[in-house]
Amino acid sequence: MTSRYRSSESADTLFPRRRTVVKAAAATAVLGAPLAAALPARAATDTPAFLHGVASGDPLPDGVLLWTRVTPTAEAVPGSGTGPDTEVRWTVARDRALTDVVATGSLTATAASDHTVKADIRGLEPATDYWFRFSAGGTDSPVARTRTAPAADAAVTGLRFGVVSCANWEAGYFASYRHLAARGDLDAWLHLGDYIYEYGTGDYGTRGTVVRPHAPAHEILTLADYRTRHGRYKTDPDLQALHAKAPVIAIWDDHEFANDTWSGGAQNHTEGAEGSWSARQAAARQAYFEWMPVRPAIEGTTYRRLRFGKLADLSLLDLRSFRSQQASLGSGSVDDPNRTITGRAQLDWLKAGLKASDTSWRLVGNSVMISPFVIGSLTADLLGPLAELLGLPQGGLAVNTDQWDGYTDDRRELLAHLRSNAIRNTVFLTGDIHMAWANDVPVDAGTYPLSASAATEFVVTSVTSDNLDDIVEVPEGTVSALASPLIRAANRHVHWVDTDRHGYGVLDITADRAQMDYYVLSDRTDPNATSAWARSYRTRSGTQKVERTYSPV
């Protein structure tokens, strides 16, 4: 295994359419502030403060991106647009005491960037732990740990990543982040989208109880709104703890903008009444790159590629900026080759990268599920004609056209590319759907398992966002006990689905296998929620299929 940092330190030291989809699945199973609120309390003083923690991200073999936000005065809260320019110094060292310093520098935090700063540090050693701190006006931030990626040609024996998605502030506490931070063995952690939610207080997924209110209280529309919401999230102590323990690798999904975002709008956006989509999208993008330790990538989006020695590369997708508008449920337009989820340039980039990869594993950070999900299953000789007759997707009746199910031509092209070029060991890492899945990714779901699997997919459940039992308001496990067997019977490529619980995943990779360990929380509404291992699935090198394993790594 690669050298990992292990520590005895505690973590403390350092959907309208989607709702409809999930309700449909459940029914099938059962029946056949104010701006100041974004900050913790502090005394009215002009002494700078680091109230939103520190973070690192996008690790490279020779560097990492460092992030913080300084609050220069009590009035300069996120989104306020006020506050003086403030010099922020950063220090990087090989030890937690910051005595073995390897790099220092300074940046200026201004109201124009909401007093956030990023330092893209280079000249570091590969596969190495570093500690860093920011300072301003005599005040020091907490000291945090980060880690560089292995050298591109390094023979890495193992990697371990935390994997999370879908954290609705109002629905509960972020205990998943606390438990990942307490591990102390992560090379990095992946956030697969919906880091924030855009809704107003009480408007989305709280099972009738707002555990803690948003700031601002209304749906976010403007740059100030998005900045304030990001600021609110970054006050969470468990999120701060995880950011202080390992670098994050993040992509966005729809709720960083608005529900069911596409290139020209969103389901949760009313043109005119809520301003123009282009202005709202630009505001969301700006706030995201200000508040997240993410390098703006190709065309100012989040699609990019990172490499971890000869063991794995990670292609990160942006499935919102270039996609066509979602098709109506049951519409044959999901098969239209002129519709896209990736955009032509991104799909070509992904295909070329997968083909050129010389690593043992090709990981794909994927915000929405690529595996087909159908209700009902027909033999191949009936499926095609019926689909053509009724104008249904050729892969079956798509339940969620916001996923790859709604863009089947892109999916067919990508899977055919994997097969025709004998590209093996491709693993999609996915969030969004608020359930945990372990899937093969079949070339033809209608004939699977007699036909081939092109890849595998591990889907993590939500940190707090509503899943099936929350939506139908029944005890945890009730829906899953009914739904899971029916889902698996209709989708023979699905090895496991948990529709009811919240939690996170830990992906462990060696040359021989990629394994996802799934963990669940005792209660999303309990700030002290415990965590327990639920299941583990792996794919062995060369198989393109998932199998269950009976212990976590």
List strands edge to edge, sheet with 453-459: 304-308, 312-316, 361-366, 426-430, 453-459, 436-442, 494-498
CA distances in angstroms from 46 to 74, 82, 111, 234, listed in the order given: 7, 13, 15, 21
Each residue's pLDDT expressed in tens, for the chain with a length of 553 residues: 333 333 334 433 343 344 433 433 443 333 333 444 455 555 445 799 999 999 999 999 999 999 999 999 999 999 999 999 999 999 999 999 999 999 999 999 999 999 999 999 999 999 999 999 999 999 999 999 999 999 999 999 999 999 999 999 999 999 999 999 999 999 999 999 999 999 999 999 888 899 999 999 999 999 999 999 999 999 999 999 999 999 999 999 999 999 999 999 999 999 999 999 999 999 999 999 999 999 988 778 999 999 999 999 999 999 999 999 999 765 568 889 999 999 999 999 999 999 999 999 999 999 999 999 876 544 444 445 544 544 545 655 556 899 999 999 999 999 999 999 999 999 999 999 999 999 999 999 989 999 999 999 999 999 999 988 888 788 888 888 888 888 898 899 999 999 999 999 999 999 999 999 999 999 999 999 999 999 999 999 999 999 999 999 9
Instruction: Tell me which residue of 14, 432, 309 sits closest to 183, measured CA to CA.
Output: 14
Pairing mode, strands 426-430 and 188-191: unpaired
* CATH class held by domain 16-549: alpha beta
Give pLDDT, residue 386.
41
Measured in whole angstroms, how far is the alpha carbon of residue 228 from the centre of its chain? Answer: 20
Residue 85: what residue type?
Answer: D
Phi, psi of 408 (to 5 degrees): -70, -25
CA–CA–CA angle 456, 460, 464 (5° rounding): 165
Give pLDDT, residue 470.
86
Give pLDDT, residue 9.
40
Phi, psi of 259 (to 5 degrees): -55, 135
Give pLDDT, residue 472.
78
Give pLDDT, residue 400.
82
pTM of the complete model: 0.90
141-190 pLDDT tens trace: 999 999 999 999 999 999 999 999 999 999 999 999 999 999 999 999 99
The domains of the chain are located at 16-549
Give pLDDT, residue 456.
98
Contacts (Cβ under 8 Å, ≥6 apart) of 374: 395, 396, 397, 398, 399, 445, 490, 491
Give pLDDT, residue 378.
44
Instruction: Provide the total of helices (H) and of strands (E) in the chain, helices listed first.
Output: 10, 24
Give pLDDT, residue 397.
54
